[in-house]
């Protein structure tokens, strides 16, 4: 045999062919010829390597270096560097998406390292068109053993003992199927291979056939011996031309070598094999339909019994096994059942191949032991979700399966668990979906597939799937009706129960499973016309507006910025938002996460554009609204919720009095968010406008201290409770009561109350401070602490990607010199002279997934270490202080120290006179969430008053008509989001001047022009 210095294994599966590996191969061969290396270097085109996201791939042996995403233009450099100079070409190596670390060798890449290859053991290693390479890897050894040393009963028993179950999806034990067929009388029997892989997103079988076709042939010969068959068919879909090509080569080579056909291996055993090309009907994956199709008839299922083991193809005893099932057989016979059953779970043995696709970094083909958790497949092997998005669900089993949501990431993937969770193992399609996918839209997709692929024979499947699709489609179009969910459930159960074959019996699964896990989304669509994922575009004008909790008309004000009509833009802002200049600075801009421009390059800077409007023209003048209604309304708490409610009620003609404990109104905006993010005059102006409407704000008046709860109850007709969540959670470690330990919000409030004292050094954190937590409060506290001269370390118990704080805040903190230590949790506080002098921490590692889809940190025992600090700020969560609410008031408070709402109401408490909103109901949330809650409470209070008086519902006064311009851009070239100009350096670190400077007119105009105007129908 000819010896080469180096082997270059180039992926030649259909996936890599499509990403250009044929061109790469040509370039490589040409380059080797040019350099005179053809005799030294061997190029091997293998089947699918599995790492499809990174294709085309070349693995160079003996070093095992893997190069990814190679283009033909890279070849000269690759040959020069690697093959001639002996240097690894860094730029083509694999980069880990989260850590960005470079990994040169295949076995060290987590995608490969965590897999267990049995079915795919030859993938990327052998040339599938050369039988010798298969034989060199123990190929046909299992068959030889079966033909020469084993009786049919022994083969069946070995397969039975291995616990192998049908990999086509249903999981019927392969050994039992064989046993039945072996027991069926008759001298004509058939072995059939189902290669009619048709699930959307599934390509396991194709890859096996393309990478290792002989493994399937070997399995079929063994099966033939086991049941006494002499003829076999591989039913392969015609859309797999490469698989068919390689199968044909494999069959011809095996026949030539005496491994197939007459007198196999001289044993006298005969087995002939033919390929039958399927014409592309999904239903032909069903066994009886497949057999009908081979018989030359229309591929429609027949009723069972008789089962194929008794009367299958041409009414003769037949077995039908999936490609992956058959590819396991040779190894089971060769290495024994015990070896095979050595991995997996009690009832699901061996490994399973998954085609990992969808919203996952490492799209590709993976093989893992049965029982591997879904989270391990998606995150550890799959590399998690791209663009830092959240995992929503994974669809297993394609259109016949179901989805598994985030709360079940720890579920072991095996037959039983999947069924328990409402999915099925399926043939191995695993489609990952992020939070931008709508559950109903997804159910619609799969139902559309099934109704289209239904053969039309039986009524439930033919008509039922069509009607279910109709109902689902109506829901996505906003035409859903109450009762639709129940009707869908009823239909689903009957269709599953009454359909003729597996297609109809499983078609409703995606609907049932999305209803099971995402019922609220269905209800949102039907009752509230809301699509949380902003997918069902018939329900909204634009995704940004739909996502905004108060429905700000974003496309309109952006269009007006582009035209330079800022006055009109400001009016649009104020229609829905009393705090646009605040939100232009500190909103968490959920709108941007759904911006469709983000799918093209980067989302529009909606928040900054909003700020640009409020920065650049004076606020429209506010007139006092006359009091026209007799009811008096009190609002407790002058934060964004309370003030929004007060404003809305004042606009409707009510006399509103706001009670505020602190010396100034604004709540968290004034007392927690530092001035470098939100300068005080900005808030003051917006609050002044609310006062100007006629709202009375009584500061320094705490309910329960300065005025009694009973008094308010007596003096006012309705009360809106919006006290916020101003108390920090404790860390729960010894020493927490020491001097120098602060709660996050308490520290921020203290600083904001005694700013002068802090700035002059009368109050100090000392030289070193630790901040515990990863949310926005933690970052606010840390960045304040830096400005007070402390050296700050943030300790966070999870990883960076799990931090709830805004990404831009984290980056800003780091720029200001703040260190963030990840996977660390406090254990105890060290005391010196009654003050904190240090904090003992423990390293954490990531364990199982929690319900939020993040891995739970678990302590590493013995990893304790101490950090010397003068102050500790614990920003690990907040809760409301509702001690002012007397128990006898009838306003009930729940175990999270939040208000309980009356059944079915969005703001009414359990005492019908009292309404509540904001953080005091939801726990700590965003400014925009608080404003939305204020709107809700005002609407509900007004609605209750009018309902009681039998008055018509409130009608908004007619709005001034503002014509929204539209410029049709012929081209909208890719351009990143405009960068916000910032103050940098010491000036920023040593003062509380605003860090972000705001867009110039030019920047704003340009950014506004990036908007794709999803609101316009052309």
Which residues bind to other proteins, rule: CB under 8 A?
A: 281, 283, 298, 300, 302-303, 305, 451-460, 462-467, 470, 487, 490-491, 494, 496-500, 505
Identity of the residue, 137 or 302, whose beta carbon is nearer to other proteins in the bound complex = 302
Identity of the residue, 301 or 603, whose beta carbon is nearer to other proteins in the bound complex = 301
Sign of CA dihedral 574, 580, 581, 582: positive
Identity of the residue, 390 or 466, whose beta carbon is nearer to other proteins in the bound complex = 466
Give 623's DSSP letter.
P
Reported as half-sphere exposure (CB side, CA atoms, 13 A), residue 688 has a value of: 9
Q: Shortest Cβ distance from residue 300 to other proteins (Å)?
A: 7
Q: Shortest Cβ distance from residue 194 to other proteins (Å)?
A: 20
Identity of the residue, 491 or 872, whose beta carbon is nearer to other proteins in the bound complex = 491
Q: Shortest Cβ distance from residue 601 to other proteins (Å)?
A: 40
Identity of the residue, 402 or 637, whose beta carbon is nearer to other proteins in the bound complex = 402
Identity of the residue, 463 or 755, whose beta carbon is nearer to other proteins in the bound complex = 463
Q: Shortest Cβ distance from residue 881 to other proteins (Å)?
A: 52
Q: Shortest Cβ distance from residue 487 to other proteins (Å)?
A: 7
User: What are the residues whose beta carbons fall under 8 Å from the beta carbon of 925, sequence distance 6 or more?
Assistant: 918, 919
Task: Specify the pairing of strand 655-659 against strand 696-698.
Answer: parallel
Q: Shortest Cβ distance from residue 685 to other proteins (Å)?
A: 55
* Nearest residue to 82 (alpha-carbon basis) of 139, 132, 31, 117: 31
- Where on the phi/psi map is residue 314: left (φ > 0), alpha (ψ -120 to 50), or beta? left
Q: Shortest Cβ distance from residue 305 to other proteins (Å)?
A: 6
Q: Shortest Cβ distance from residue 474 to other proteins (Å)?
A: 10
Tokens standing for residue 11: 């992926």
**Cα-to-chain-centroid distance, residue 189:** 48
Q: Shortest Cβ distance from residue 674 to other proteins (Å)?
A: 59
Identity of the residue, 466 or 800, whose beta carbon is nearer to other proteins in the bound complex = 466
Q: Shortest Cβ distance from residue 500 to other proteins (Å)?
A: 6
With b for 16 or more beta-carbon neighbours within 10 A and e for fewer, the 546-584 pattern comes to bbbbbbbbbbbbbbbbbbebbebbbbbbbbbbbbbbbbb
Distance CA 981, CA 171 (A): 59
Q: How far is CA 871 from CA 640, 668, 751, 837, 989, in A?
A: 31, 23, 14, 8, 19
Q: Shortest Cβ distance from residue 479 to other proteins (Å)?
A: 12
Phi, psi of 309 (to 5 degrees): -60, -25
Distance CA 778, CA 174 (A): 57
Q: Shortest Cβ distance from residue 279 to other proteins (Å)?
A: 11
The DSSP secondary structure of 325-364, one letter per residue, reads: HHHHHHHHHHH-HHHHTTSB-SSSBSEEEEEEEES-SS-E
Identity of the residue, 268 or 305, whose beta carbon is nearer to other proteins in the bound complex = 305
Three-class DSSP category at 537: helix
* Nearest residue to 257 (alpha-carbon basis) of 223, 311, 217, 303: 217
Identity of the residue, 310 or 413, whose beta carbon is nearer to other proteins in the bound complex = 310
Identity of the residue, 185 or 303, whose beta carbon is nearer to other proteins in the bound complex = 303
Reported as half-sphere exposure (CB side, CA atoms, 13 A), residue 108 has a value of: 13
Alpha helices (H) in 923-1000, listed in sequence order: 927-948, 985-989
* 8 close to 42: Cβ distance less than 8 angstroms: yes
Q: How far is CA 277 from CA 248, 252, 274, in A?
A: 12, 17, 10
Q: Shortest Cβ distance from residue 490 to other proteins (Å)?
A: 7
Q: Shortest Cβ distance from residue 233 to other proteins (Å)?
A: 23
Q: Shortest Cβ distance from residue 315 to other proteins (Å)?
A: 12
Q: Shortest Cβ distance from residue 997 to other proteins (Å)?
A: 59
Identity of the residue, 468 or 820, whose beta carbon is nearer to other proteins in the bound complex = 468
Tokens standing for residue 327: 């590819």
Tokens standing for residue 278: 């399927």
Crossing angle (nearest 10°) for helices 776-787 and 807-815 = 20
Identity of the residue, 171 or 674, whose beta carbon is nearer to other proteins in the bound complex = 171
Identity of the residue, 62 or 296, whose beta carbon is nearer to other proteins in the bound complex = 296
Tokens standing for residue 490: 């009823």
Distance CA 682, CA 670 (A): 10
Identity of the residue, 454 or 581, whose beta carbon is nearer to other proteins in the bound complex = 454
Q: How many CB atoms lie within 10 A of CB 894?
A: 11
* Nearest residue to 301 (alpha-carbon basis) of 103, 189, 458, 524: 458
Identity of the residue, 467 or 530, whose beta carbon is nearer to other proteins in the bound complex = 467
Q: Shortest Cβ distance from residue 497 to other proteins (Å)?
A: 5
Identity of the residue, 497 or 969, whose beta carbon is nearer to other proteins in the bound complex = 497
Distance CA 910, CA 947 (A): 18
Phi, psi of 711 (to 5 degrees): -65, -50
Distance CA 236, CA 198 (A): 10
Q: How far is CA 980 from CA 247, 595, 605, 992, in A?
A: 58, 18, 9, 18
Identity of the residue, 298 or 702, whose beta carbon is nearer to other proteins in the bound complex = 298
Q: Shortest Cβ distance from residue 654 to other proteins (Å)?
A: 46
Identity of the residue, 488 or 1014, whose beta carbon is nearer to other proteins in the bound complex = 488
With b for 16 or more beta-carbon neighbours within 10 A and e for fewer, the 127-159 pattern comes to bbbebebbbeeebbbbbbbbbeebebeebbbbb
Distance between start and end Cα atoms, the chain: 67
């Amino acid at each position: 045999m000819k010896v080469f210095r180096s082997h270059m294994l180039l992926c030649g599966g259909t996936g890599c062919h499509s990403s250009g590996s044929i061109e790469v191969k040509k370039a490589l061969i040409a380059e080797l010829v040019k350099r005179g290396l053809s005799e030294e270097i061997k190029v091997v085109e293998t089947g699918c390597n599995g790492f499809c996201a990174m294709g085309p791939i070349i693995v160079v042996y003996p070093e095992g270096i893997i190069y990814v995403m190679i283009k033909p233009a890279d070849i000269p450099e690759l040959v020069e560097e690697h093959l001639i100079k002996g240097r690894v070409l860094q730029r083509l190596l694999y980069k880990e998406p989260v850590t960005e670390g470079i990994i040169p060798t295949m076995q060290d890449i987590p995608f490969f390292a965590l897999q267990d290859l049995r079915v795919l053991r030859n993938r990327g290693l052998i040339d599938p068109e050369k039988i010798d390479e298969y034989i060199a890897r123990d190929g046909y050894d299992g068959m030889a053993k079966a033909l020469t040393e084993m009786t049919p009963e022994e083969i069946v028993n070995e397969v039975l003992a291995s616990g192998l179950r049908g990999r086509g999806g249903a999981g019927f034990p392969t050994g039992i199927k064989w046993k039945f067929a072996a027991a069926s009388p008759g001298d004509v029997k058939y072995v059939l291979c189902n290669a009619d892989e048709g699930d959307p997103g599934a390509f396991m079988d194709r890859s096996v056939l393309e990478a290792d076709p002989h493994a399937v042939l070997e399995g079929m010969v063994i099966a033939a011996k086991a049941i006494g068959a002499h003829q076999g068919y591989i039913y392969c879909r015609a859309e797999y031309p490469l698989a068919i090509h390689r199968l044909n080569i494999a069959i011809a080579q095996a026949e030539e070598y005496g491994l197939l056909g007459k007198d196999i291996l001289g044993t006298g055993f005969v087995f002939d094999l033919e390929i039958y090309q399927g014409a592309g009907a999904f239903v032909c994956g069903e066994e009886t339909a497949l057999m009908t199709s081979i018989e030359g008839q229309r591929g429609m299922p027949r009723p069972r019994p008789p089962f194929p083991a008794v009367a299958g193809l041409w009414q003769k005893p037949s077995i039908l096994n999936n490609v992956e099932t058959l590819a396991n057989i040779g190894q089971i016979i060769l290495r024994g059942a015990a070896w095979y059953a050595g991995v997996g779970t009690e009832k699901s043995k061996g490994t399973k191949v998954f085609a990992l696709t969808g919203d996952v970094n490492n799209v590709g083909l993976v093989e893992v032991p049965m029982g591997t958790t879904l989270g391990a497949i998606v995150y550890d092997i799959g590399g998690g979700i791209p663009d830092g998005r959240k995992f929503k669900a994974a669809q297993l089993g394609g259109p016949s399966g179901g989805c598994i949501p985030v709360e079940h990431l720890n579920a072991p993937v095996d037959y039983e668990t999947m069924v328990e969770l409402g999915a099925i193992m399926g043939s191995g399609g695993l489609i990952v979906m992020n939070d931008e996918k709508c559950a109903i839209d997804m159910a619609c997709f799969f139902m559309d597939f099934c109704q289209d692929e239904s053969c039309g024979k039986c009524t439930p499947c033919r008509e039922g799937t069509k009607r279910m699709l109709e109902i689902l489609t109506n829901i996505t179009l906003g035409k859903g009706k109450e009762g639709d969910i129940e009707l869908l459930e009823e239909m689903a159960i009957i269709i599953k129960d009454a359909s003729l074959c597996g297609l109809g019996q499983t078609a409703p699964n995606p609907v049932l499973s999305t209803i099971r896990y995402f019922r609220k989304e269905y209800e949102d669509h039907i009752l509230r016309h809301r699509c949380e994922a902003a997918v069902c575009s018939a329900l909204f004008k634009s995704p940004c507006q739909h996502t905004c909790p108060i429905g700000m008309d974003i496309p309109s004000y952006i269009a007006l910025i582009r035209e330079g009509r800022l006055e009109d833009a400001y009016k649009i802002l104020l229609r829905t938002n009393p705090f646009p200049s605040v939100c232009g600075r500190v909103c968490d801009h959920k709108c941007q996460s759904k911006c469709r421009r983000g799918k093209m390059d980067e989302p529009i800077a909606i928040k900054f554009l909003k700020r640009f409007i409020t920065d650049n023209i004076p606020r429209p003048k506010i007139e006092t609204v006359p009091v026209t209604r007799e009811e008096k309304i009190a609002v407790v708490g002058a934060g964004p919720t309370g003030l929004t409610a007060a404003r809305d009620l004042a606009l409707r003609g009510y006399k509103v009095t706001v009670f505020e404990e602190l010396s100034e109104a604004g709540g968290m905006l004034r007392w927690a968010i530092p001035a470098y993010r939100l300068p005080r005059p900005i808030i003051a102006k917006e609050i002044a406008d609310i006062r100007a409407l006629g709202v009375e704000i009584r500061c320094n008046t705490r309910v329960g201290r300065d005025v009694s709860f009973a008094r308010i109850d007596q003096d006012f007709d309705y009360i809106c409770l919006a006290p916020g969540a101003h108390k920090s959670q404790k860390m729960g470690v010894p020493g927490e009561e020491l001097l120098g330990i602060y709660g996050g919000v308490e520290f921020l409030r203290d600083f904001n109350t005694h700013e002068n004292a802090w700035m002059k050094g009368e109050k100090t954190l000392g030289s070193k401070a630790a901040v515990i937590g990863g949310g926005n409060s933690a970052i606010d506290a840390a960045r304040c602490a830096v400005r007070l001269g402390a050296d700050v370390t943030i300790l966070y118990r999870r990883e960076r990607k799990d931090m709830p704080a805004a990404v831009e805040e984290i980056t800003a903190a780091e720029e200001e010199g703040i260190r963030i230590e990840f996977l660390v949790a406090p254990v105890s506080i060290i005391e010196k002279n009654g003050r904190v002098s240090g904090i003992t921490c423990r390293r954490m590692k990531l364990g199982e997934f929690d319900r939020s889809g993040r891995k739970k940190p678990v302590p590493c025992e013995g990893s304790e270490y101490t950090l010397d600090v003068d102050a500790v700020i614990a920003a690990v969560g907040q809760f409301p202080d509702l001690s002012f609410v007397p128990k006898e008031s009838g306003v009930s408070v729940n175990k999270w120290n939040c208000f309980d709402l009356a059944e079915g109401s969005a703001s009414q408490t359990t005492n019908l006179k009292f309404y509540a909103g904001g953080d005091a109901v939801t726990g700590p949330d965003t400014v925009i969430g608080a404003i939305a809650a204020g709107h809700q409470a005002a609407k509900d209070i007004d609605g209750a008053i009018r309902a009681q008086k039998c008055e018509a519902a409130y009608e908004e006064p007619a709005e001034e008509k503002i014509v929204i311009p539209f410029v049709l851009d012929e081209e909208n070239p890719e351009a990143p989001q405009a960068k916000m100009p910032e103050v940098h350096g010491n000036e920023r670190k040593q003062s509380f001047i605003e860090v972000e400077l705001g867009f110039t007119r030019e920047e704003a105009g340009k950014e506004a022009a990036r908007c794709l105007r999803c609101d316009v129908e052309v």
